[in-house]
Amino acid sequence: MQLRTTLLASLVGVALAGFVALSTAEVRLPGDHSGYQPAQPIAYSHRVHAGENRMDCQFCHTAAEKGRHAGIPPLSTCMKCHEKIVNKPGSKEPSPEIAKLAQAFKDGRPVEWQRIHRLPAFAYFDHSRHVNAGVACQKCHGEIQTMDAVFQANPLTMGECLTCHRDTNLKLVQSGKPAAAPTDCSACHH
């Protein structure tokens, strides 16, 4: 009897210690990479391009409305502007970052960008379905137009996606339209 009481007290103690540790530590769900910000080979500023210059996301990420992945633009897209724009923004001084871009283009080699937003392999996500439904890029990627160096602003977890789909369906139904955002497992896991 005393052995059982001691064992039970030990288990309760371990559980309580675990709970305290979890409540004081940063706890993340699997797949939550919010805050991830790898070093990039070129210091590209979304703040300058998408923010100050108001470039539409799809000018560079052309596959977003047509396919599963938004895609990384080819250097030829960058060079449409940067054949003429070679200085630092607001300066007469040449930009070393634009020089790196131009050299890669001249050499015919791609820039090896580090991917930031990545979902687990068991989750299917299609950019085109969301873009064509009018979902703003910022809904998932955060205020990208304010970021000099892009980071993963949101966790991109299943719970976030389901909450968004449920909220969208509620708004649709309240406006007299049928629910359109799937909430069944097979929509994203197949």
Instruction: Kindly list the domain boundaries of the chain, sorted by start residue.
Output: 46-156, 157-190
The pLDDT value recorded for residue 117 is 94
| % of the chain residues with pLDDT over 70 | 86
| Structure confidence by residue, pLDDT tens digits, 9-53 | 555 555 555 554 455 456 777 778 999 999 999 999 999 999 999
Residues facing 94 on adjacent strands: 87
Token pair, residue 163, equals 């909450």
| Structure confidence by residue, pLDDT tens digits, 154-187 | 999 999 999 999 999 999 999 999 999 999 999 9
Q: How far apart are CA 144 and CA 137, in angstroms?
A: 8
| Structure confidence by residue, pLDDT tens digits, 64-88 | 999 999 999 999 999 999 999 999 8
| pTM metric for this prediction | 0.79
Q: Look up residue 32 and give its amino acid.
A: D
| Structure confidence by residue, pLDDT tens digits, 90-134 | 888 999 999 999 999 999 999 999 999 999 889 999 999 999 999
Higher-confidence position of 15 and 190:
190
Q: Look up residue 68 and give its amino acid.
A: R
The pLDDT value recorded for residue 165 is 98
**185, HSE (Cβ side, Cα atoms, 13 Å):** 2
Q: Would you state the torsion angle of the CA atoms of residues 170, 190, 69, 128, taken in this order, to the nearest 10 degrees?
A: -40
**Which DSSP string corresponds to 92-131?**
SSBPHHHHHHHHHHHHT----PPP-----TT----HHHHH
Length of the chain (residues): 190
Do the beta carbons of residue 149 and residue 47 sit within 8 Å?
no
2-6, 88-92, 152-156 — most confident range: 152-156
